[in-house]
């Protein structure tokens, strides 16, 4: 036998695949036909994961920095050295950056190491643009911090609303499911300023001006009111703060909203009706790598609550994660906001619970994200990072100033050169581990090849470090860690590797009442309180004006994944995806700005003509790329050229990274 069942490790769809293993090497990949979600399909990335898994650009030995180079050391020496240095820092001087590509077991232990051993709550994930925000919104609104819908049932929906991003590029197989649903009669509507492939595959595409997705979603809710479809008294029974929300909603003027968003009032009303009349409805929005903002997520949730679509089967809110185990990493509490199992850090009981479970005193002062620590906290002295897959490293100068940086990584990359100590990591086929996809499906990926000699599993490295720091950890395998997770994380209480081995994944909550997992938690478990999520009487008008329209007439949007994936740091180790993703980079080596056909005509711009983009803070020279996909008045820059980020966007970058609603007011000048 050479084809072994497994799970793709790229995006948060979690497709099933067969890996062809020969002579301890992964030689090929094939889609797994019986998988409940991917049903025998893979995307261009998934079809080439074997190329990544064959790369020789591995880190194969522990390394310790000496001056400007690294010295290979034994595992013992690396552990002793690291432990002796870590001893010298207090909890609040250390920050931890986990990896959404690492398994649940690895993330759980990483978090436990931070909180229980190092007494640090400065713990967060790379590439988590918006998942934590989405989880907070959902937790507040419906008590479930993740997808309320189900991906395997989306073909049964009447109505699907896709908001933001381009699912066909970010999570192609989920987009494919939506496409199949549409082909069998589901009504699919997309809301995004860009004309994406997802939009092309939808029956309806509403194109709000950049920065106004949230307003369009509120306008859809408002239309349900003006059309007399939703009455207040029914609503008060279903949703806690209905009265306050309706007050907030009814202050919205549909005509004005139509003007600000650039979407015709009639279009808003007819889509609202179509949505309301549907038997079941799904909403999809991206989180991770590229994400919707908090305000839009809330508006979307409110829309679903208002129309009473949330507690029905075959429907719900679907945040789509951009990376394989982004959701699982948050489930495991790699977050400044939650302990494992979504116990909030603000609550004293949470800490008591974990002190009891872990049998150790914890630092109860909530921490910050690693990025926030680096940006604003001068007291941070040490940083521990797992698999930094972003090619562009933020706060690089601050990291260089730190006293101690530990990097755990499988592949050589730019971040490794900043480390003091490097521990090699297994790649995902060299050990057992579970991964949780967008729909809460926990899947076991089993070991398929032997790791290069000397590389230890992450649990062994962390256990040795913990022991050296005075807390002997007993773990002997990933399976044992899952046993502990099942005791600690209520949503995972019914899970074990043994159970997962015989399945193609189970959706949490998996517990006594749902031993086979849960497809629609809100429909299956009544009694959760619903609540509208909104920030009270925020001044809508103010947030729509930059006040500088005259000087900076264009809205510049920065995209994170339309022509590339994850800054290509992973893709560059493959052949075909590298070629495909680099095609554009080769055509525009210094980057490009997309201009609409209308604006290009009005300004007399030709393809590839150099232009200057000027914002209040900086300017940059780029080549023009005329695109039929963007709106007049909008400019689009893809986020993949280092120089563009460091030279132009650096001050705005944290905002730009967070979500795709953010835009920068700029003007465009021709270079003569």
Partner 1 sequence: MYWLPRDQVRALVNRLAESYAVYGPRRDEVSGEVVFDRLEELERLDLQAAIPYNPPKHALLPQYEEILKYLYSKQSQKVTIEKISKVEPKALVGLRACDLNGILCLDRFFLGQEFVDEIYLEHRKKLFIISNTCVRPFPQCFCVCTDSGPAAGEGFDLDLTCAGQGYLVLVGSKKGQRLVEELGLREAGSEAQNLREKIVAESVSSFDNFALENKAWVSRATNRLTTGFIKPEVWEYIGNQCFECGACSFVCPTCSCFNVEDVNRVDGPTDRVRTWDSCSFEGYTKMAGDHNPRKPVEDRRNKRFFCKLSYSQSKKYLRPGCVGCGRCARVCPGDIGLPNVVTYIRREITGE
- Applying CB under 8 A, among 24, 54, 244, 365 the residue interacting with partner 1 is 54
Q: How far is the CB of 56 from partner 1 (least distance, A)?
A: 7
- Asked if residue 583 binds partner 1 (CB under 8 A), the reply is yes
- Asked if residue 8 binds partner 1 (CB under 8 A), the reply is no
- Applying CB under 8 A, among 115, 119, 136, 179 the residue interacting with partner 1 is 179
Cα diameter, the chain: 72
509: helix, coil or strand? coil
Nearest to 289, CA basis, from 657, 663, 664, 662 = 657
List C-alpha distances in Å: 468 to 64, 84, 462, 484, 655: 18, 8, 10, 21, 40
- Applying CB under 8 A, among 20, 156, 375, 477 the residue interacting with partner 1 is 20
Query: Which of these segments, 50-58, 84-92, 370-378, 510-518, binds partner 1 (CB under 8 A)?
Result: 50-58
Count of alpha carbons within 13 Å of 471, Cβ hemisphere only? 20
Q: How far is the CB of 36 from partner 1 (least distance, A)?
A: 9
Nearest to 393, CA basis, from 567, 564, 561 = 567
Contact in structure between 138 and 317 (CB atoms under 8 Å)? yes
Q: How far is the CB of 172 from partner 1 (least distance, A)?
A: 5
Nearest to 152, CA basis, from 325, 275, 282 = 282
Q: How far is the CB of 421 from partner 1 (least distance, A)?
A: 23
Q: Is 412 exposed, middle or buried (0-12, 13-18, 19+ CB in 10 A)?
A: middle
**For residues 50 and 555, which CB has a smaller minimum distance to partner 1 in the complex?**
50
Task: Give the interface size with partner 1 as a residue count (CB under 8 A).
Answer: 50
- Asked if residue 173 binds partner 1 (CB under 8 A), the reply is yes
**For residues 46 and 211, which CB has a smaller minimum distance to partner 1 in the complex?**
46
- Asked if residue 453 binds partner 1 (CB under 8 A), the reply is no
539-547: long-range pairs with CB below 8 Å, 24+? 540/215, 540/218, 540/252, 544/211, 544/212, 544/215, 544/260, 546/665
- Asked if residue 32 binds partner 1 (CB under 8 A), the reply is yes
- Asked if residue 649 binds partner 1 (CB under 8 A), the reply is no
Query: Which of these segments, 173-181, 188-196, 330-338, 615-623, binds partner 1 (CB under 8 A)?
Result: 173-181
**For residues 29 and 410, which CB has a smaller minimum distance to partner 1 in the complex?**
29
Query: Which of these segments, 20-28, 241-249, 284-292, 445-453, binds partner 1 (CB under 8 A)?
Result: 20-28
Of 555-574, binders to partner 1 (CB under 8 A) are: none
- Applying CB under 8 A, among 51, 331, 594, 599 the residue interacting with partner 1 is 51
- Asked if residue 553 binds partner 1 (CB under 8 A), the reply is no
Of 196-215, binders to partner 1 (CB under 8 A) are: 197, 200-201
Distance (Å, whole) CA 331 – CA 145: 9
List C-alpha distances in Å: 157 to 41, 188, 285, 309, 351: 21, 10, 16, 11, 41
Query: How many C-beta neighbours within 10 Å does residue 332 have?
Result: 30
Q: H/E element holding 594? A: strand 592-596
Eight-class DSSP state of 457:
P
- Applying CB under 8 A, among 24, 34, 515, 607 the residue interacting with partner 1 is 34
- Asked if residue 315 binds partner 1 (CB under 8 A), the reply is no
**For residues 5 and 398, which CB has a smaller minimum distance to partner 1 in the complex?**
5
- Asked if residue 485 binds partner 1 (CB under 8 A), the reply is no
**For residues 42 and 162, which CB has a smaller minimum distance to partner 1 in the complex?**
42
- Asked if residue 72 binds partner 1 (CB under 8 A), the reply is no
Contact in structure between 648 and 613 (CB atoms under 8 Å)? yes
The token pair at 440 is 């809460």
- Asked if residue 181 binds partner 1 (CB under 8 A), the reply is no
Distance (Å, whole) CA 579 – CA 568: 11
Q: Where are the beta strands (DSSP E) in 228-302?
A: 281-287
239: helix, coil or strand? strand
In angstroms, the first-to-last Cα distance of the chain is 64
**For residues 21 and 334, which CB has a smaller minimum distance to partner 1 in the complex?**
21
Q: How far is the CB of 290 from partner 1 (least distance, A)?
A: 18
- Applying CB under 8 A, among 580, 616, 619, 655 the residue interacting with partner 1 is 580
- Applying CB under 8 A, among 6, 12, 14, 31 the residue interacting with partner 1 is 31
Query: Which of these segments, 51-59, 214-222, 337-345, 589-597, binds partner 1 (CB under 8 A)?
Result: 51-59
Distance (Å, whole) CA 381 – CA 488: 30
The 493-512 contact track toward partner 1, x by CB under 8 A, reads ---------xxx--------
The token pair at 228 is 């007399």
- For residue 412, whether the previous peptide bond is cis, meaning omega lies within 30 degrees of 0, is no
Q: How far is the CB of 41 from partner 1 (least distance, A)?
A: 5
- Asked if residue 587 binds partner 1 (CB under 8 A), the reply is yes
**For residues 13 and 261, which CB has a smaller minimum distance to partner 1 in the complex?**
13
- Asked if residue 436 binds partner 1 (CB under 8 A), the reply is no
3-state secondary structure 359-426: CCCCCCCCCCCHHHHHHHCCCCCEEEEECCCCCCCCCHHHHHHCCEEEEEECECCHHHHHCCEEEECC
**For residues 246 and 429, which CB has a smaller minimum distance to partner 1 in the complex?**
429
521: helix, coil or strand? helix
Judged by the rule CB under 8 A, the positions of this chain that interact with partner 1 are: 1-3, 5, 16, 18, 20, 22, 27-35, 40-44, 46-47, 50-51, 54, 56, 168, 172-173, 175-176, 179-180, 183, 197, 200-201, 502-504, 575-576, 579-580, 582-583, 586-587
């Amino acid at each position: 036998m050479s084809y072994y069942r497994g799970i793709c490790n790229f995006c948060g769809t979690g497709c099933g695949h067969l890996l062809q293993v020969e002579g301890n090497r992964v030689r090929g990949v094939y889609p797994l036909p019986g998988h409940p979600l991917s049903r025998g399909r893979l995307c261009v990335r998934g079809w080439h994961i074997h190329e990544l898994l064959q790369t020789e650009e591995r880190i194969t030995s522990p390394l310790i920095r000496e001056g400007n180079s690294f010295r290979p050391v034994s595992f013992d020496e690396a552990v002793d050295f690291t432990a002796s240095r870590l001893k010298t820092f207090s909890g609040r001087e250390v920050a931890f950056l986990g990896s959404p590509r690492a398994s649940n077991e690895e993330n759980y232990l990483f978090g436990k190491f931070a909180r229980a051993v190092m007494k640090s709550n400065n713990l967060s994930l790379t590439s988590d643009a918006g998942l934590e925000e989405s989880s907070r919104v959902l937790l507040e609104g419906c008590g479930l911090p993740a997808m309320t819908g189900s991906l395997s049932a989306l073909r049964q929906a009447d109505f699907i609303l896709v908001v933001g991003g381009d699912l066909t590029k970010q999570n192609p197989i989920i987009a494919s499911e939506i496409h199949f649903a549409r082909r069998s009669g589901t009504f699919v509507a997309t809301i995004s300023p860009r004309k994406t492939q997802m939009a092309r595959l939808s029956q309806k595409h509403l194109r709000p001006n950049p920065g106004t997705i949230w307003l369009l979603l509120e306008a859809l809710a408002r239309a349900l009111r003006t059309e007399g479809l939703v009455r207040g008294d029914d609503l008060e029974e279903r949703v806690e703060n209905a009265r306050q929300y309706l007050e907030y909603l009814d202050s919205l003027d549909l005509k004005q909203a139509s003007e600000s968003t650039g979407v015709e009032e009639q279009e808003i009303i007819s889509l609202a009706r179509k949505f309301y009349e549907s038997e079941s409805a799904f909403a999809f929005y991206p989180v991770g790598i590229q994400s919707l903002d908090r305000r839009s997520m809330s508006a979307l949730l409110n829309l679903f609550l208002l129309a009473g679509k949330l507690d029905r089967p075959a429907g719900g809110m679907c945040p789509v994660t951009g990376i394989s185990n982004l959701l699982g990493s948050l489930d495991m509490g790699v977050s400044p906001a939650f302990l494992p199992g979504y116990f909030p850090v603000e609550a004293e009981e949470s800490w008591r619970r974990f002190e009891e479970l872990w049998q150790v005193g914890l630092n109860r002062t909530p921490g910050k994200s690693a990025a926030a620590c680096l940006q604003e906290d001068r007291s941070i002295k040490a940083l521990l990072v797992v698999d930094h897959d972003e090619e562009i490293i933020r706060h690089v100068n601050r990291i260089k100033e730190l006293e101690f940086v530990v990097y755990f990584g499988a592949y050589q990359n730019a971040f490794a050169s900043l480390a003091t100590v490097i521990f090699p990591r297994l790649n995902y086929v060299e050990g057992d581990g579970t991964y949780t996809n967008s729909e809460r499906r926990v899947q076991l990926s089993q070991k398929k090849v032997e790791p290069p000699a000397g590389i230890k599993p992450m649990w062994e490295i962390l256990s040795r470090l913990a022991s050296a720091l005075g807390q002997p950890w007993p773990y002997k395998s990933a399976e044992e860690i899952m046993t502990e997770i099942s005791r600690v994380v209520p949503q995972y209480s019914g899970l074990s590797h043994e159970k997962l081995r015989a399945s193609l994944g189970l959706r949490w909550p998996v517990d006594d009442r749902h031993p086979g997992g849960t497809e629609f938690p809100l429909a299956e478990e009544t009694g959760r309180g619903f609540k509208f999520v909104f920030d009270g009487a925020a001044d809508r008008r103010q947030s729509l004006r930059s006040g500088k329209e005259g000087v900076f007439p264009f809205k510049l949007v920065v995209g994170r994944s339309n022509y590339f994936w994850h800054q290509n740091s992973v893709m560059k180790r493959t052949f075909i995806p590298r070629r495909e993703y680099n095609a554009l980079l080769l055509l525009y080596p210094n980057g490009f700005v997309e201009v609409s056909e209308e604006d290009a005509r009005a300004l007399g711009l030709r393809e590839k003509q150099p232009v200057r983009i000027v914002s209040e803070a900086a300017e940059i020279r780029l080549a023009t790329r005329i695109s039929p996909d963007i709106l007049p008045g909008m400019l689009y820059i893809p986020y993949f050229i280092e120089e563009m980020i460091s030279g132009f966007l650096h001050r705005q970058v944290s905002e730009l990274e967070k979500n795709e609603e953010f835009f920068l007011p700029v003007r465009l000048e021709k270079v003569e």
